[in-house]
Amino acid sequence: MDDGTAPPAGGTRDPGAPAPRPPWLDWRPGQRVALLARLDDGLHEVAGELMHTELSHVLVQKRDGTLVRVDAWTMVTGRAIPARR
Q: How confident is the model at residue 7 (pLDDT cuts 50, 70, 90)?
A: low
Q: Where are the domains of the chain?
A: 23-81
The string of DSSP letters for 20-62 reads PPPGGGG--TT-EEEEEEEETTEEEEEEEEEEEE-SSEEEEE-
| Residue scoring higher pLDDT (68 or 14) | 68
Q: List the Cα angle 3/21/73 in 5-degree steps.
A: 110
| Residue scoring higher pLDDT (13 or 63) | 63
* Chain mean pLDDT for the chain: 88
| Residue scoring higher pLDDT (52 or 11) | 52
**Mean per-residue pLDDT, 17-23:** 85
Q: How confident is the model at residue 21 (pLDDT cuts 50, 70, 90)?
A: confident
- The neighbour count for residue 44, using CB atoms within 10 Å, is 14
Question: Hey, what CATH topology would domain 23-81 get?
Answer: SH3 type barrels. (2.30.30)
